[in-house]
Chain A
Amino acid sequence: MTPLNIFELIVLVYFITLNGVYIGLNVLSVSGIYQYMQSNSVGVLPRIFAGFSPPVTIITPSYNEQSTILDTIHSLLELEYPQYEVIVVNDGSTDDTMKMLQHELLLSPFPEAYRNRLATNAIRGIYRSTRYTNIYVIDKENGDRADAVNAGVNMAHYPLFCAVDADSTLQKDSLTRIVQPFLEDPRTVACGGTIRIANGCEKKEGVITRAILPSSMWALFQVIEYLRAFLYGRMGWVPLNGLLIVSGAFGLFHKETFVSIGGYNKKALGEDMELIIRMHRLLKKRGQPYRITFVPDPVCWTKAPETFYRLMKQRIRWHIGHLQSLVWNLGLMFSKNGGVAGWVALPFSLVFEWFGPIVELTGYVVIIWGYLAGWISFDVFLIFFMVAIGFGILLSTSALLLEELSFHVYPRPTDIIILFLVALFENFGYRQINTVWRVMAIFKHFWMLLMQQSRYT
């Protein structure tokens, strides 16, 4: 067996194993979503009841969001939930964000007995709206999103909090839906919801009124990607308590647990994932029973990048964040009480989502080069692409199936045809370019580690 044959085998085994696991997650998700839809299909009992629904703090970190912040606040004011407060954290904006907040909310300085439980950059002032008395504003020195959320948590008055990005839009029942797992299981410490692409959708006063597919090809590809990532990528891990991420765009957390593990890590590029992996690691170490879960409802809409450059930057940043989160929490892997998170989810993530892009990209390059150079037969070349692309299309279409079985957010018949075509074509270029970006992220991460090392020596 030549080295090339061995390499071909490795690549084939990689693709089949990776996609086999995803198919397994798919199967778990189908069962989970079916149960969820059945349980929630008949509204015989109210989901919320004043006095028994836990009050929630919504934290909105904002940096230079003058064009979106008021829309976000209006959408938060429309939430149908008995008791909640909103803390907008102006994270040292250099535009007119603070002015707009002053004008719209009629802010007045408020002598909050602020608790510095999580260290943050300096607070310049705390204000309360005289127009909407459940809205506060923290004006602080710039320190990035993690720092802003931590400052908001320091001030939060309620036992649960969620961080909602300033460019995200919630639905009226988002809080009602995402709070349910906390009501059903007191061990719940974190819960995420499905994030959908807002591009192209109709909005009125900050609320999505009609879901419409975006016209941009980049955004369309991301619609399918998000369906895959949320409907089975997250849902599949929930029954195993192996979920490794709750999206920063919208997630609900038990405040005291969040504070006890140190809040968001300001140095992390992917602070949302790093938090959850750290949560698994520290809570398991303490022996504290806990649950990190997910509701498949589309609870939050966010704007996706529509240009090649912005998407590339985002994906590289996300993947570096992913790598950092894994490396900084390696103590969880194969630890004594690691559970599914430590023995399955983390190793899987490390092998297939860290090293995986290198194997994948090398596979594409070697197979194509090998075929052109005559080292690889046409049969092997064809088999490789059939497996690689076939599995990709299968996973995308099964995400579409999950969507159709559950929420069918895009109601027009032509929508499903467009989504199917996108699911096909994303495997001829889009997924491969994402692989290239992830490999770039891996090299950038190694470079960052080397630079850090050289600073200490």
Chain B
Amino acid sequence: MNSYNAETLSLAADIAIWISVVVFALILVIMVYIFTLRFILIFGQYRRDRFINEWSQVLSSVIENKPVTLPGLAKSSLQYFLILWNTLHDVYKYSPDSRSRLNEVADELDLAEKAEELLFKRGLRRTFLGIMTLGNIGDDRRWQEISEHALSSNPMLSLVAVKALFIINPGAAISIFIYLAGYRDDWPRTMAASILNDAGPEIISQPMVTAIRKESDSRVEKLIPYLVCCDPALAREAARERLSSTGNDRIAGLCLKVLSKYGKAEDAVLVRQYCEHKRWHIRAQAARALGRVGAREDLVQLINLLNDSQWWVRYRAAQALASLPFIQSDALEKLRDEQRDRYGKDMLSHVLAEKAMAETHDPTEYF
């Protein structure tokens, strides 16, 4: 037993010694690696700054259509160049001539082949650059390759590929966008909406509206928020149609939200049906929409909603009353003073104060 214990202790000690040796060796390796990274960073920053200085001037001259000789492009500087070139494409996205001149530079430098190679290299950063470059070059022979990346499980990669497709052929890209947006939960909507915004309502509105009319509830739920990027009249039509036929509460809420932005007086009949909905989110959206489309006969309904059990319903009802064009502030104050319900009274005071501040301090869009 004693020799067993002594052996066990000795083994434990040996293991601990080896662990310590490995640990200290790792520390040394890590520190050398850190110092190497820092050296590469400093040197890389210096090289990058020099490169950007030189090529910024060259590409500015190209954009201004001045004669310029292109310097050589080393393989090690390719990524810096692509970031600069793609950034300029984004800056001049509304200037076809500037973009065309940038693409002439791309032809001279065989950028398309280089960008294609990047698609097969490891690292998301390289893939992003490759896709964006091919997109900005606008060569539809790469359409298939880029479409495959749009199906990627990585949401950023997928969005970058979709953006590239929009640059090449927006009319065809919108179908891919609608297909993907209808099932993906992982796309940051801010980025997806910015892509649609860049494409413009003329391109995206009709296909989006058609999809919202025809597709299933589960897909339409994800598409409706993008109606704000569409033509207001078409967005309103799509929301109206879907609202009048849906039994899905979530879709009803989203459609009401669209009507609160784009609705017209004739939509009031449809909106009123939702003012007494069992779900408070719907009642709140209906109240909000009535603030835009409501008529005098809706005053009673809105005053009733001031006494709703939910804060947000009361708030939207008060805001709706405050935004109706035929009610002035003094009429609202009178309404507030006549309120027997404390919560309704408080809410009207709140919204009146907000309105007063909005009128004093502009531009302030209050909700």
Residue numbers of A with Cβ under 8 A of B are 1, 5, 9, 12, 16, 35, 38-39, 41-42, 44-49, 51-53, 110-113, 115, 128, 130, 133, 180, 183-186, 379-380, 383-384, 386-387, 390-391, 393-394, 397-398, 400-401, 404-405, 408, 413, 416, 420
Residues of B within 8 A of A115 (CB): 311
* Chain B, residue nearest A43 (CB): B87
From residue B200, how far is it (CB to closest CB) to chain A in Å?
A: 15
- The residue from A47, A48, A52, A391 contacting B23, defined by CB atoms under 8 A apart: A391
In the complex the two chains form, is B38's CB within 8 Å of A408's CB? Answer: yes
| Given contacts A42-B129, A383-B17, A420-B31, A1 and B357 within 8 Å (CB-CB) | no
Q: Assuming A52-B190, A401-B33, what are 13 further A-B pairs, CB within 8 angstroms?
A: A1-B5, A9-B12, A47-B188, A49-B191, A111-B350, A133-B357, A183-B190, A383-B13, A387-B19, A390-B24, A393-B23, A394-B26, A397-B31
Residue with the highest number of chain A CB atoms closer than 10 Å, among B12, B160, B163, B225: B12
In the complex the two chains form, is B190's CB within 8 Å of A41's CB? Answer: no
Residue numbers of B with Cβ under 8 A of A are 5, 8-9, 12-13, 16-17, 19-20, 23-24, 26-27, 30-31, 33-35, 37-38, 41-42, 83, 86, 90, 123-125, 128-129, 132, 154-156, 159-160, 163, 185-186, 188-191, 193-195, 197, 225, 228, 311, 314-315, 343, 346-347, 349-350, 352-353, 357-358, 360-361, 364
In the complex the two chains form, is B361's CB within 8 Å of A51's CB? Answer: no
From residue A456, how far is it (CB to closest CB) to chain B in Å?
A: 38
Residues of B within 8 A of A52 (CB): 189-190, 193, 225
| Given contacts A45-B160, A45-B163, A130-B360, A408 and B190 within 8 Å (CB-CB) | no
In the complex the two chains form, is B34's CB within 8 Å of A46's CB? Answer: no
* Chain A, residue nearest B358 (CB): A133
Residue with the highest number of chain A CB atoms closer than 10 Å, among B27, B86, B314, B358: B27
Residues of A within 8 A of B189 (CB): 49, 52, 183
| Given contacts A130-B361, A391-B23, A398 and B193 within 8 Å (CB-CB) | no
From residue A369, how far is it (CB to closest CB) to chain B in Å?
A: 19
For the complex, what is the distance from the CA of A277 to the CA of B269, rounded to whole Å? Answer: 48
In the complex the two chains form, is B188's CB within 8 Å of A1's CB? Answer: no
Residues of B within 8 A of A53 (CB): 190
In the complex the two chains form, is A184's CB within 8 Å of B125's CB? Answer: no
Residues of B within 8 A of A383 (CB): 13, 16-17, 20
**Top 3 closest pairs, chain A to chain B, by CB:** A183-B188, A386-B20, A38-B124
* Chain A, residue nearest B35 (CB): A416
For the complex, what is the distance from the CA of A379 to the CA of B20, rounded to whole Å? Answer: 13
For the complex, what is the distance from the CA of A397 to the CA of B32, rounded to whole Å? Answer: 11
In the complex the two chains form, is B12's CB within 8 Å of A111's CB? Answer: no
In the complex the two chains form, is A41's CB within 8 Å of B125's CB? Answer: yes
In the complex the two chains form, is A45's CB within 8 Å of B195's CB? Answer: yes
Residues of A within 8 A of B20 (CB): 383, 386-387, 390
Q: Is the interface of A mostly helix, strand, loop or mixed?
A: helix
- The residue from B8, B42, B194, B228 contacting A46, defined by CB atoms under 8 A apart: B194
From residue A129, how far is it (CB to closest CB) to chain B in Å?
A: 9
- The residue from B30, B155, B197, B358 contacting A401, defined by CB atoms under 8 A apart: B30
- The residue from A51, A384, A416 contacting B38, defined by CB atoms under 8 A apart: A416
From residue B6, how far is it (CB to closest CB) to chain A in Å?
A: 9
In the complex the two chains form, is A113's CB within 8 Å of B37's CB? Answer: no
A-B contact pairs, 22 of them (CB 8 A): A1-B8, A1-B9, A9-B9, A42-B125, A42-B128, A44-B163, A46-B194, A49-B191, A51-B228, A130-B357, A130-B361, A133-B357, A183-B190, A184-B155, A387-B16, A387-B23, A390-B20, A394-B27, A397-B30, A397-B31, A404-B41, A416-B34
From residue A419, how far is it (CB to closest CB) to chain B in Å?
A: 9
From residue A55, how far is it (CB to closest CB) to chain B in Å?
A: 9
* Chain A, residue nearest B356 (CB): A108
